[in-house]
Each structure stands twice: as C-alpha cells, then as structure tokens.
Structure 1
Amino acid sequence: MLTQPCTPPRSAAKLGHVTSKLPHRRTRRFSHAPWLLFCAAAAASCGAPAAEPRAAPSSVLLVTIDTLRADRLGCYGHTRAHTPNIDGLATRGVRFERALSVAPLTFPAHVSLMSGTIPPHHGARDNGVFRAVEELDLLAEVLRETGLRTAAFTAAFVLDSQFGLDQGFEEYGDVPQRVMHPKGMLEHRSAAEVNAEAFAWLNTLDESEPFFLWLHYFEPHLPYPPPNERPAALRDHPYDAEVSNADRALGQVLARLEELGRGEETLVVLTSDHGESLGEHGEASHSFFVYQAVLHVPLIFSHASLPAGSTVSSNASLVDVMPTLLELLEIEGPPLPPPARSLAASVRGAASTASSPPPPVYFESLNSLLNYGWAPLQGVTLGDDKYIRAPRAELYDIARDPAELSNLLATDAERARALEEMLVALLAANPGREGAERELSDSDRVRLAGLGYTGAASPAVTENTLADPKDGIERVRKEELILELFNAGRHAEGVGVLRELLEGDPANPVFNSRFGFVQLMQGRFDEAIPYLERSIENGYRVAENVTNLALCFLYTQRLDRARTVFEEALAINAKYLPALFGLAQVHVGQGDPDAARDRLDELLGLWRGGEDPIIAQARQLLATLPR
C-alpha cells in the first residue's frame, strides 16, 4: 500500500511558457547585471597561463553527484579515493578548490545551480514543499532557445518534474515512485538506470545537433548498500565506495560521448548539490548545519579549449555556474542579481582584471525552522572568513580552522558585524518570489513571514525567540538512530527511542509523523490517528504523511473521512500513487465503480515500468470492477 507513483518524462508540450520569455542569443560577449559591492577585501587572483584560443564548446554535459564532499575525491587530496574519471576531468580541465553550495539540501541547491540565483531570490528553501517558479530563467530554457537539444535524467524524487526544474528540457527523466520506507526516504534509482535513459536519448540525436544533457547521480547519499556489494578495498568505507560507483557511471558516459564522436565538442561540468557531515559537529548526514563538510563541493570545467590541469583558488558558488557556462558557450544570458558572476575568465586561465572585489558567497539552511520550529541558519563566506547567523552566531577562519572548531566571534566581533552587514545587504538585493511554496502549513507561513523569509533582509532571526539548532542536534541524531534501527529490523528499540523523543518534544511534527507511521505499520490504526493528525496540524503537510492518515481512516471503514483526506493528499501531490489507489478503494467501498475506475486509470497512466507491487494490486482491483 505504501508505494509511490511513477512519473513519465516531460515532453516539449509542457514548455509553452518558455517562448514567452525574452529570447537569448549566441554572442561574443556575455552580459549580466553587475553584482553589488559588498566589501573592501582584495580580489583573489588565480589561474594558469592563458592557453591558445580554441573553438568554444557547442554541447554541455552537466553532472551533479548528490551528497558529494569535495575532499573525498582524489583530485581534492583524498588518498583513499578511487575516482579516476573525475580526477581525469580535473587533469584535462579546470578545478575550483573552494566551491561552495548555497544550501545542504538537494532541491534549493539545484534551483540555484540552474537559475544563478540564491534561495532568498528564487524562493525554494527546502525539499518537497517548494518549486522552481516559471518566472525564473533556467539554464535549460536559455540553452534550448539558442538551439540546443535538452534532456535531464535524475536519480531522486526530490528533483521530480512536478517541482519545476523540468522547465526548458525537451525530455525530463523522473524517478519512479516506489516503496515509501519507514524513515521517509525519498525514492531514488541507480546511476546505471540514469545512464541507460541518457544513452537512449543521445542515440536519438543527429550528430550535428548541439545538446545540453544534465545527469544527476544519487550514489553517495544514504542509505548505503551492504558490505558485500562494495569493492573489497572500500568494504569498510561505504561513503567512499558509493563515490567510486558514481565515478564509474560518469566514466561510462564520457566513453559513450567519445564513441558517438561528441567528446571533443562537449564541455563537461562536474559538481554536487552539497556534501555530507559524516559525523562532524554531531551531524550524521546533511541538511541541518551549514559547516564546510556540507557546503564544500567539487566544481570542475573540462574542455579542450580550457587550460588543462589548472586550479582556481578563490571562492566560488553554485550560482556562478550558470553565468560561467553561458559565457564559455558564447551565449548571452539573462540579468542576474548579486552575488552571481561569471568566472569564465578564471576558467580560461586569465588573470583577474576585476576592478572591484568579489562578493561574499551566500549559504543557508531552513531545515531546522521548517521541520523542527528552531531558528534557521544563514551566512556568508568572504575569503577565509565565514559567518553564520544564528541565536549564537559563529565566525571562523576556514583557512586556519577548516574543521570549524574555534568560534572567533567573541574575539573579533567587529569582523562578524561587517559580515552581518554584508548578509543584510545581500538579502536586501534578493527580494522573495511569490508562488515558490508548493504546500506550506499556516504555521510555517507565519514563521517565514515573521522572520523575514519572504525575502526581507530583516535580521530578526538573530533574536532569541527560537532555539539554536546547535542545541537540538542530539534530538536529530536520535531520530537518525531510529531510522537506522528500523532499517535493521530492530523495531522495538526504534519505538523506544521515538517515545523518548516525543516525551521531550510532544508537539514536534516530525516525531509525531514517525510514531504515527510505526503504529500504522503495526496495524494500530486508531492509535496512529492522533499522532498523524498532530503532525499535520503542526506543519508536516507532505503527501506521504497525509496519505498515512487517510489509510488509517480507510482501514477503520470511516470512508467519508478517508476520502476527504486522500483528496487533501492529492492536492499536495497529484501524482502520489498510494493516495490514488486509496481513493479508488474508497470509491469501491462507497459503491461508485466509475469513480474508482477513473482513479485506477489515472494511476496506471503514471506508471513508467519496472517492478511495483501496487501496480499489480491496482490491476487486480480494476479487473473486479463492473463495466
């Protein structure tokens, strides 16, 4: 029953809104709005000697490897790494030593990557409840309007086309929504599946057609496969093993481009949405904190026209990728707000000629606010200085203290104040965007508006009205432990830890959702209902959670209530398979076979193939309905 729907690739028919935007064109000059002057620090110079002019690339392969720390690659100094293909890109291209993500969350980071704007501007602040609005000029739209064929194949549901990143892509390969795990893990698929769809698409292209192909791999993200499925040398290092698997998949794509005779023309860009804490600062994975472990990502540009084996040592941001890529392709892009800037001169190996210093790099995480009701985190990095706005603010010298263990705020308050002023100015230059919220609870909207997170630059989040996330990490760690226990089949232990968490934070929406789900899975439907209702009332309005509540009503024969709640779930996610199947069952129970057939036909129309138990159940139910 707890199975998610499959989503078909997007076709060009969806893209009608693209042509209504201002057209982009090939040009010998790149133009975008100048970023604002935020500081008086000297601009860092970087790069290798200028190379002889070569033909600009005509096609682009963009690869984003989810949850990839830069320091776990061989080309970034990791001695245990087995990443020959990524290292080869660095050897043949340009590697940024200090590229930073805007957020330790997949969807906000990818929207920034594809739009050249920071989250306060584009409005996507978390996974699942926000979308990329049509008013944004996304990279695929710009490239398609200049004549490139465009396709994307993603590996996680969090990037599903319903969230808006499909804009500009002729084909967008979504992830089949299959089994919903107790931990709430969003469905994902392997790099091999992603590659298979990409290879099929590449085979449809005429050899003269330039293209933009985006591939997203999920391998380094939890959960990891068992030890017997890892290379012998990395059996005790699951994260490194998964990084190696992603590298192998990349190598297969590079080889296929060579086989098709498209390698020489293709600019390859390799990066990540964010890193992984791996236990640093008490965080097992990512999304909660904004330390370097989750923000420092690889960034490599590789093409024959670029100086091979060169490095750029100054700070870069994911928002710089779009303007840089467009300038390398000699395509005029849309005006972009600060802090986005083209780094094409650095990529080409030219010394910096900027008359003003570089802007600070912005970062944030609203995960603690939206999921726990605790204070959000925002900050900026300028040179070696990193400032984190929080109830107890933090200041680090990341060159001398890369692990961020020595908070300098008490000894250098003036520097922290200067960085806070830059943060305020940066937020003022990036007003919020209406319509990015897919489905926020009233309480979340009140929190966001009251804290200036509709785009206002107010520093109100520094007030001690909300808990500092640093004080809540132990509770988050216990929640992660619960998921580990359930995955290992140790359900009784997991329930015990959940009860402990609820006793300490009885209103917490995530904890209530988890406990309600456990009761549902154990057949205690009446016991599950109050926990699920409390979770939804307190802000956890995602389709999975609302559907779980509807299932409790269905299984206890409260069909009218079940129908209402299933419809609420479908209002959040119209393609959520369990809600469609559950609603069909309600229609059968209420004596309306025609309505049930409509829901089942809709469900089966979303299926993209592959094994999916709920598809068989839907077909069985459909076969019993009178015609």
Structure 2
Amino acid sequence: MKKRSIFWAALFFLSLGVIVYTFTGLFSSHRLKDSPNVLIITMDTTRADHLGCYGYDKIQTPHIDAAAKEGVLFEEAFSVQPVTLPSHCSIFTGKYPFSHGVRDNNIYRLAEENLTLAEILKERDYVTAAFISSYILDRQFGLTQGFHFYNDRFLKPKQKGRLPIDRRAAEVSILACKWLDTFKEKKDERPFFLWLHYYDPHADYDPPSPYKEAYPNPYDGEIAYMDDWIGYVFDDLKLKDLWDNTIVVLVADHGESLGEYGEQTHGIFIYRPTTNVPLIIKYPEKLPQGVRSKERVSTIDIMPTVLDLLGIKAEEKFDGQSLISLIKDKRGINERAVYSEAFIPKGFNWSELKGIRKGKWCFIEAPRPELYQIEPGEKELESLIGKYPQQAEEIKSLLYAMLTETQQAKTEQVAVNEEMIERLKGLGYFVGGGQGGEEITTSQQDPKDMIKLFALYQRANGLVENESYGQAVALFEKIMEQDPDNPRFLMESADININLNKFKEAEKHLKHAVSIKGKDPRCHYLLGLCYENWDKTDMAIKEYKEAIALNHNHFLAYFHLGLIYTNTGQWEKAEHAFLETRRIKPDDVSTLNNLGYIAIKGKNDFQTGIDLIKQALKITPQNQTLLSSLGWAYYNVKDYKNAVTYLEAALALEPDNRMFIQQLKAIYKALGDKERLKQLEKREKFLEAV
C-alpha cells in the first residue's frame, strides 16, 4: 500500500466529529447471531479484461486478484446497462431496468415500490451504510432506500466548474474504515451491510501520482489506484477480525469501449467491452475458493445470491437468480439467457438497443438487427443475421417474450434543476434521456450509423466546457447538417446561442425541436429561456407553463416564472411559483432568498423575509448573495448593526462587488461613519479605474 499523505490524515481527523455524530444512536445491544456481514463494492466503468485476475498483464491489481483467489470469479458476467444509475438499481433490486423502471442516468428515480437489498437486510436488523463517489448516485435518485446512513456529500470533491461531481477512492475508503471503527467501538453484535462505490476509472482519466507516471494508459492507472484503496478496506477488515465473516462482492456497473466499435467511452452500445464486467464473490464458509466460472451470469443475480448465502427467503420475485446451485452443480456452459439494453441513444432520437445472450448467440434488436455467434471471451465481430435468419427470429422471440411477460414498472422522474444539468454535463452525461415504454422503435436512426456523429457531439460539448462557444456553435451546425431533425442537437445548439445572445437562431432551432418532440419539457423550457432573455416576457411565460404541464416537477420552469413575476411586481404569482420550487427542492437557497425578497418587497413583511433568508444562510453560510440580501433587509428596518455585519461579510467574500460597496456606503452614511465611507469611496474609484 502506498504511503498516505499528511493531507488525508488531516482530512480524516477533521471529519471525525461529523461521522461519530452521524452514527450515534444507530447501534443497539440487540444481537443477531451467526449472520455474516455483507460488503458490496461497485467499481464504476471497470472492464473485466483490464484486471490482473482476468488475464490482463499490463496492470497490477493485487488486492482484487487476492479476493478472486479466495472466492469465485465469473468470467462471463454481464451488466444490464452501460450506464451507472440503471445498472446499480438492477444490482440492488435483482431486476432488469424494464422491471424497476430506471432506464437512464438523468431524469429517473428508483420508485419506492421497488424492494432493495438494503431494505431486506435492514428489516433483519442489519446496520446499513453506503459511501458513494459520484453525483450520478445522489440520494435524490432513490438508492437510499434501506440505508441507515448514505454518504453522498463529498469532503474533497473533484470539481467541474463550481460544482462537486465526484470524489477519489481515498476519501471513500478512509471514511468507510472510520465507520467500521465506530461500529466496533459501539460493540454492536449486529451484522453490517456496507456498500462502497468507486468512480475513479470513469472518464476523464486522470490518475494521481505515482499511478499517472506508472501507467501509459491513464485508464489503467485509475484502476490500479482504485485497487490500492480497495486493499486499504480489505486490510482494515482483517485487522478488525471481520474479514472471514464477511461476504464480499466485487462488481463493476459496466465497462468502457476505449475506442472499440468507434465508441470512446460508454452508453451507446451493448457490445462486450461495455457490458462484460468483473464479478467476484468471496465467502469461504459456503463458497469454494479459487474457482473460475465460465457460466454466463448477470449483475441482477447478485441480490438473490447474497440472500441465498444468508439463508433469507424473500417474497419478492426477482429477474435474477441465485448463483449458488450453479456454482456447485457446474451445469452446462451458457444455458442461461441474459439481457442488456442501452437507452442513451433514445435521448438523441435514435433507436434504443435491446439485446439478449443465450448459448452461443448474441442478438441485438436495432433498426438493423445483429446476430453474433460467440464463444466465451469473444467479442462481437461479424453479424451473421443474413446467414442464420431462422436462429435470429427464434432468439428475437425469446427477447420479446422476456419483455412482454415481465410486469413493467412505473417510472418516476426527478425534478430537473440547473445544478443537476451542470453536474451531469460535468460527468459527461446529458439531461433528457429515453422515456419509458417497451415498444422497440425501429423507425429511428441506428446507433451504429450515428457513432461518428456522437463523437463530434462529445467534442462540441468539450468546447462548451472550455467556453469556446463560437467553435462549439460551428461544430453543432456541422453536426446538424448530418442529422438535421435531432432534437438533442437542436436544443444543445440553441442553448449555446442563448448564451451568445443569438436569440433568433436559438428560436429557429427550438421551434424545429418542438415540431419533432413537442412533449419534451426541455424544448419548451429552453424556448421560454430564449424569450425571457429576448425580453419577450409573455411568450416566455407561455413556454414555461407548457414545460410545467409536461413535467409538474420542472424546477427551472417554475423558478424562471417566479423571476419574471417578481421583476414585473406580480407578487402573488411570484410567491406561488417559488412555493412550487420549494416543494420540489425544500433546501434550495435561491428559492428561500427569493421568497424572502417577495415577503419584504411585495408584502412589506420584513420579519418573514429576514427569517427566510436566514434559513438559506444556515444551508450555505458563506454565500455572499444571501449575506448581502440579509444585510440590506436589516438596513431597511434600520437595524444598522446587523446590516453592517452581514454586508461586510459579503464584501469580504467578493471584494470587487460594487453593489455591496454601494449598500455599505448607504449604511455608513446613515451611521455618520465618514472614515469607513471614505475607504469605500476610494475602493469604488479604484474599481472604476480598473
């Protein structure tokens, strides 16, 4: 294990108060005898064939390899989806996406009606905790179900712009081991269920030193770094004498194309590079050690397998099955049919992909269907659908039977807000994925034909991230020449044009998008944003209301309606709009600030306004806008002492803000403090000169 930095030790101890306080009260003296602990580690974006234990000789992954020697390694394990959220929902429900309802990373939430592994174990007196590493698995997306503690607030996050989007493996492992310390200190004899999620192998690949220097391929460097911090947890379990009595599951949510099939990352295709994942299960008491299974299995099998190992018979019907009898009986290779899908293409108005693997066949339903004859370990190289049409029809019928015979889940959508959009884009994902429904649309474009265009789209978004807006617009125009009726490209291009104040161009693209995809709330929201910035207020209101009619939880549409009504002095309508944003997101500080302003300015109710702004300030104490709002509210009720306190704090955070300077000048003038007034006037003149 590499030497830890002093910084991490400091960070570790700084976090203790929070962690210990969080766990107080979770532990009791109630005893659940002889039940093993459960540790599930999900490794984001990790290809099976890039681990040492799977035969890759260009990397060192000693800790994962050692776990494989103590357990069962599955060579032919497949993910249900090549993106994070749907895949994790399947791991923890034992169901395919069409059963649990989550089909993409961005607008979906796992519905409460789904029963999770954490809920079952919590009901049986397990102490449950999760430490996740990416905003993709934020609590709002529904995977908190059953967890006593769900740590998705990052201490030292990686940033994209102003927002935290993910964190390093080191932070997850250190906090998880502190959780285990607390568990042991409380002398609680109940078993625990611990889920650790590591995001490091996900693009952009930027491993820390010395892994950056040790590995020419930065993707491998990220995996090696993650392996060391997984080893940190394993070592800690051994030191605490917990290792032997802990079921350990190591699995990836999906893989990575790394340029194969023309795909740089993941999400579009369901070929082997993005769906074949490492799966290792260790529990020597009931499983053999050092076994390599060639049976084709799915990540939906993890939950029923863990429950089987624990001797728990759940009433819930799973799409997956326990792998225990399969391991012991050693049935014939590849008898099992497993399913995978990709819904990100649907968000581009291309066809989604749905595929099934059975025996030596892999069938993918698409506008141009594909059939591959493959042996274990082989990739899909040449479609044989023309050569074996009867076999294709048979396996296609099996796919359709699987989809139609399973009860379809009700889908739930999360509230879309600006922060979500910014974070998802920072992670390389884009709001507005596929909608529900099991019809397989074959009239849309085939992703195979659009992958080069998708690569251009990714490059255009990289230009936006670097604020090269002119180049981005030019590239989007080139993209739309090839796919002129693509609502995603039309909306993204319009969004950039709005930022460039090119409203006529944005309107043209958005009207075209609405004509194609009129029931997409984001089309109407962006059109409203275009008109709002264009000072066409009535038209903006109409489009925002249309977006809300299509998605009653559309945070941004309500928020912008609130701004319009506030700016036009329609206080009652403004308050209604912001009460809706508060319903959707109770702790949104901008909402609380605006409601405070409406109370003060529209109702002359200074006390309510001050109370609302104080609520917001408790959530983000170092927010200069809130500090300024509160200071100015106190000035208006002639509480100059508090007014000075809050406005000076705001100015300290943003020393060149002229509005703060002007507000403070007014206060010091009222107080007769000529010295401070001169200082502020001097600063103001300096800023004007600059």
Q: SS where residue 473 of structure 2 aligns?
A: helix
Q: Distance in 1 between matches of 2:527 and 2:233?
A: 40
Trace 1:30-41 onto structure 2 (pairs within 5 A). Answer: none
Paired position in structure 2 for 1:563: 560
Paired position in structure 2 for 1:125: 103
Change (3 A) 1:80 1:563: same
Whether the 8 Å contact between 1:124 and 1:437 is mirrored in structure 2 is no
Q: SS where residue 231 of structure 1 aligns?
A: helix
Once the two structures are TM-superposed, the CA of residue 335 in structure 1 deviates from its matched residue by 3.2
Paired position in structure 1 for 2:646: none
Change (3 A) 1:523 1:591: farther
Paired position in structure 2 for 1:479: 457
Q: Distance in 2 between matches of 1:277 and 1:295?
A: 9
Report the residue type matching 1:223 in the other structure. D
Q: Distance in 2 between matches of 1:169 and 1:227?
A: 31
Q: Distance in 2 between matches of 1:287 and 1:625?
A: 49
Bigger helix fraction: 2
Q: SS where residue 150 of structure 2 aligns?
A: strand
Q: In structure 1, which of residues 288, 293, 296 is the aligned counterpart of residue 273 of structure 2?
A: 293
Paired position in structure 2 for 1:333: 314
Change (3 A) 1:164 1:77: same
Q: In structure 1, which of residues 116, 135, 147 is the aligned counterpart of residue 94 of structure 2?
A: 116
Trace 1:153-552 onto structure 2 (pairs within 5 A). Answer: 153-175=131-153, 181=160, 187-205=165-183, 206-207=186-187, 208-225=189-206, 230-234=211-215, 236-305=216-285, 306-338=287-319, 340-347=320-327, 350-352=328-330, 358-369=335-346, 371-399=347-375, 402-438=378-414, 453-455=436-438, 460-461=440-441, 463=442, 465-487=443-465, 491-519=469-497, 541=521
State the structure with more CA Rg.
2
Q: Distance in 2 between matches of 1:117 and 1:479?
A: 32
Paired position in structure 1 for 2:652: none
Q: SS where residue 273 of structure 2 aligns?
A: helix
Deviations 1:482-502 (A, max 9, x none): 233445665543332123223
Once the two structures are TM-superposed, the CA of residue 425 in structure 1 deviates from its matched residue by 1.3
Once the two structures are TM-superposed, the CA of residue 137 in structure 1 deviates from its matched residue by 1.2
Change (3 A) 1:514 1:580: farther
Whether the 8 Å contact between 2:256 and 2:273 is mirrored in structure 1 is yes
Change (3 A) 1:446 1:59: closer
Change (3 A) 1:269 1:534: farther
Whether the 8 Å contact between 2:356 and 2:364 is mirrored in structure 1 is yes
Change (3 A) 1:381 1:601: farther
Q: In structure 2, which of residues 633, 645, 651 is the aligned counterpart of residue 625 of structure 1?
A: 633
Whether the 8 Å contact between 2:73 and 2:281 is mirrored in structure 1 is yes
Change (3 A) 1:409 1:353: closer
Once the two structures are TM-superposed, the CA of residue 266 in structure 1 deviates from its matched residue by 1.1
Whether the 8 Å contact between 2:158 and 2:166 is mirrored in structure 1 is no
Q: Distance in 1 between matches of 2:388 and 2:116?
A: 40
Whether the 8 Å contact between 2:370 and 2:384 is mirrored in structure 1 is yes
Report the residue type matching 1:564 in the other structure. L
Whether the 8 Å contact between 2:582 and 2:591 is mirrored in structure 1 is no
Q: Distance in 2 between matches of 1:541 and 1:596?
A: 32
Report the residue type matching 2:450 in the other structure. G
Change (3 A) 1:542 1:603: farther
Report the residue type matching 2:78 in the other structure. L
Q: SS where residue 109 of structure 2 aligns?
A: coil
Whether the 8 Å contact between 1:130 and 1:439 is mirrored in structure 2 is no
1:86 aligns with 2:64: yes
Change (3 A) 1:617 1:196: farther
Change (3 A) 1:524 1:492: closer
Change (3 A) 1:241 1:437: same
TM-score norm. by structure 1 comes to: 0.77
Whether the 8 Å contact between 2:506 and 2:530 is mirrored in structure 1 is no
Once the two structures are TM-superposed, the CA of residue 510 in structure 1 deviates from its matched residue by 3.0
Question: How many pairs does the alignment contain?
Answer: 556
Q: Distance in 1 between matches of 2:600 and 2:504?
A: 20
Q: Distance in 2 between matches of 1:67 and 1:173?
A: 21
Q: SS where residue 341 of structure 2 aligns?
A: strand
Q: Distance in 1 between matches of 2:160 and 2:599?
A: 27
Once the two structures are TM-superposed, the CA of residue 164 in structure 1 deviates from its matched residue by 1.1
Q: Distance in 1 between matches of 2:310 and 2:316?
A: 17
Paired position in structure 1 for 2:585: 574
Question: Can you give the 5+ residue segments of structure 2 that lack an aligned partner in the other structure?
Answer: 1-17, 27-31, 417-430, 542-558, 564-576, 638-690
Report the residue type matching 2:360 in the other structure. D
Q: Distance in 2 between matches of 1:60 and 1:201?
A: 14
Report the residue type matching 1:274 in the other structure. H
Q: Distance in 1 between matches of 2:601 and 2:490?
A: 30
Once the two structures are TM-superposed, the CA of residue 283 in structure 1 deviates from its matched residue by 0.9
Report the residue type matching 1:365 in the other structure. A
Whether the 8 Å contact between 1:271 and 1:299 is mirrored in structure 2 is yes
Deviations 1:366-385 (A, max 9, x none): 2111x111111101111231
Whether the 8 Å contact between 2:372 and 2:380 is mirrored in structure 1 is yes
Paired position in structure 1 for 2:645: none
Change (3 A) 1:320 1:227: closer
Deviations 1:149-177 (A, max 9, x none): 00111111121111111110001112459
Report the residue type matching 2:391 in the other structure. R
Change (3 A) 1:139 1:278: same
Q: SS where residue 472 of structure 1 aligns?
A: helix
